Structure 1
């Protein structure tokens, strides 16, 4: 029999529920202490509770351990190793389906870690010695060891393969390979492990290893679409590499042939060359070259530096052909913008080239360059022809000074 409900008339000054703005309103006893905190402080306190927290905060109110959170964490390990691993594995799968690869990997880490924890098993001696037998029944579980071991291996294999997927998506290819190798030790027929290992090696450009994994996987499952697609990618990449290597060899062989042809052309013309440094001057694409790099008899040309030693100025001629004369180039170079006294005009200058022995040879302005170079007296130094240009009126002065400098240097 139920007691009849009693109804009491409302007080005239009663405040509607939830309205604390009226004077004299009383808060529930459990909330009375909340008045001493601001809204921000209350929010921080709530966020320490696992039921309200919006982000993981493992510290308590006083900065120590968050007891409530640790208690909830401990609940995750209340079952057997296999049960704990299964729970974490499923959470990892949920995150993987949402492509939250880092979170998924963490749950697979926990699943694998749970399998390494000590197992709670029934111990008859402990039960007999435990005065609280009911408590012992709750703390210990009777297990079928063979079935439990089978479940643990199943969860370990699946967690390793799934963690390999996470590492593959996160581009941790080395970790992906290690997870696949560990899974294959458990089950050498795991096709997913072969595929993911093959993909990791493919991204690392380790094609032999990728092909090995792919081939083993296809032996187990010859119609696997993912492995067949990977096999095509490996072959395509292998073809690309072989093509690039072949083209590189062809370029190197061509350069070698052209170098030999140029050396033959210089030797045939009795033109001496010399290198003084392993780092030649930067001349962009200006080089000693043949008009036809494969024909030693074609026209030879040289980069040339015109020096004006009395005024510390220079001009650069990118290509000075062997059948051209110095005068032909001076015609378009002169007058010089800095030559206010007009000392440098084609008919007012003389040209000199330093010899191999440190002397000077006068270069006729109408003489073809080849006739100057094949005398055997001058040489091309560091792939660059150097010609000194001085006003005729001061030529002897400069020559005498040049000799003095050379003599002092000996």
Structure 2
């Protein structure tokens, strides 16, 4: 009887054994390093995590069994290493932990304090720098590095007299110290720059106040100008200059052109039909509304029709709302004004009241249904107001 043959292997049968790995050698090496980092004995630094790790705690216990001086010295070395790597906050933490250990090695305490001061200098914690340097100087008054770092912190805080004293003290201890000599020169340079800036600020303030007074006189000469500041309710900070009625809380203020003696007004052109506006920063009072609108409407506004623009210089009329000082919205009257009138003349008229220091004018397309509706609205308001006045007087 013939021997039985082995069955032919099926191409669909599963492959036994491990599948070929697709992980590269570099990835395997990185994974190994990450796994080693989880083993306390191979850790470069103990973790800050609050999660319990018995092996880590055991290492900490071993460390706590060492003499405090040795632990502090080791922590100082860790801090120095972090500092060299640019990890200044981490370095400061190591120095702080080292300072928590009680021992009698004064030079080590001083080194830890001035090292932590160096880290805080990099972190711009200048108050902490001064405290650590002061503590170091209490232990060893001739610690030149503490004086040097104190001087740097004092300059940053603009405590220039203290910075000078630190440099002077340090150079009395080490007259040939080049770093301190350079620091002393930096202090004097910083003092000169600070004083120069203070003079410049004072001069700007003086010029600003002079300009305000000149503007005040120019406005007083134009006795017809009337102002309403009822909507400008923001209180000025205590100690700020007295507010004039033509001033407001924005940067948009009337100015005096010292060369011409003209007032330059901030002006709004309002387009109620489209709920749009244009703002002119400096409208010379000697110019007419036509002069300014020729620039503003030189091109059709983006919200107007390009093919059939309504807002062109020859197709619009200008108005302003007249309201008595302290009056209400229902007291407003719509007043038409000639586009050939000069701004200064309009503002000096008895009907015009400047609100919050910024004049405004309404621009309407002459042949448009909206215009008649807009004008009719104010006509009815006027009739209602006049009727109410008659009833009250009777």
Q: TM-score surpassing 0.5?
A: yes
1:84 is matched with 70
**2:322 matched residue in structure 1:** 354
Mapped partners of 2:37, 2:264: distance in 1: 85
Aligned residues: 326
Distance 1:327 1:107 in 2: 74
Q: Are 1:372 and 2:325 an aligned pair?
A: no
Checking the alignment, whether the CA contact within 8 Å between 1:85 and 1:110 is kept in structure 2 is no
- Is it true that 1:219 corresponds to 2:206 in the alignment? no
Please give the residue correspondences for 1:162-177 in structure 2 after superposition, counting only pairs within 5 Å: 162-177=115-130
Q: CA RMSD in A?
A: 4.7
Deviation at 1:246, TM superposition (A): 1.8
The yes-or-no answer on 1:191 pairing with 2:144 is yes
Q: Following TM superposition, by how much is the alpha carbon of 1:265 offset from its aligned partner in structure 2, in angstroms?
A: 1.3
Distance 2:75 2:45 in 1: 22
Alpha-carbon spacing, 1:331–1:170, altered in 2? closer, same or farther (3 Å)? closer
Change (3 A) 1:72 1:343: closer
Contact 1:84–1:114 (CA under 8 A) maintained in structure 2? no
Distance 1:163 1:403, change over 3 A: same
Change (3 A) 1:311 1:208: same
Instruction: Establish whether residue 160 from structure 1 lines up as the match of residue 160 from structure 2.
Output: no
**Equivalences for residues 391-406 of structure 1 within 5 A:** 391=366, 394=372, 397=376, 400-404=379-383
Measured against aligned partners, the alpha-carbon deviations of 1:253-277 in whole angstroms (never above 9, x if no partner) come to: 2121112212211211222233231
Per the alignment, residue 277 of structure 1 pairs with: 232
Question: Contact (CA 8 Å) 2:130, 2:153: kept in 1 or not?
Answer: yes
Tell me the equivalent position of 1:95.
81
Q: Matches of 2:379 and 2:37 in 1, distance apart?
A: 97
What secondary structure does 2:168 align onto? helix
TM-score, L = length of structure 1: 0.61
Note if contact 1:194-1:214 (Cα within 8 Å) is conserved in structure 2.
yes
Three-state SS of the structure 1 residue aligned to 2:268 is strand
The answer (yes or no) to whether the contact 1:93–1:104 under 8 Å persists in 2 is yes
CA 409–317 in structure 1, closer or farther in 2 if over 3 Å, else same: farther
* Alpha carbons 1:326, 1:367 under 8 Å: kept: yes
TM-score by length of 2: 0.63
- Distance in 2, Cα, partners of 1:342 & 1:250: 50
Higher Cα Rg: structure 1 or 2? 1
Q: Map of 1:14-53 to 2, 5 A cutoff? A: 48=39, 50=41
The separation in 2 between residues aligned to 1:160 and 1:102, in whole angstroms, is 14
1:267 aligns to 2:233 (yes or no)? no
Native 8 Å contact 1:351 1:387 kept in 2: yes
Cα shift at 1:399: 5.1
Q: Is the 8 A contact 2:99 2:109 kept in 1?
A: yes
- For the residues of structure 1 that align with 2:114 and 2:157, how far apart are their CA atoms? 19
Measure the CA separation in 2 of the matches of 1:283 and 1:158.
54
Pairing 1:323–2:289 present: no
Q: Contact conserved, 1:92 with 1:103, CA < 8 A, in 2?
A: no
Give the corresponding residue for 2:205: 252
Larger relative contact order (C-alpha < 8 A, sep ≥ 6)? Answer: 2
1:340-398: CA deviation from partner (whole Å, max 9, x where unpaired): 69698748746455153655655334333333333444222122222345549949745
CA 1:320/1:182 → structure 2, altered by over 3 Å: closer, same or farther? closer
CA distance in 2, matches of 1:315, 1:252: 31
2:264 match? 301
Query: In the aligned structure 2, how far is the partner of 1:264 from the partner of 1:167?
Result: 54
Alignment match, 2:20: none
CA contact (8 A) 1:96 1:166 kept: no
CA contact (8 A) 2:76 2:98 kept: no
Aligned to 2:354, the other structure's residue is in SS state strand
> C-alpha deviations, 1:47-76, integer Å up to 9, x for none?
6473x55654799xx953558635752563
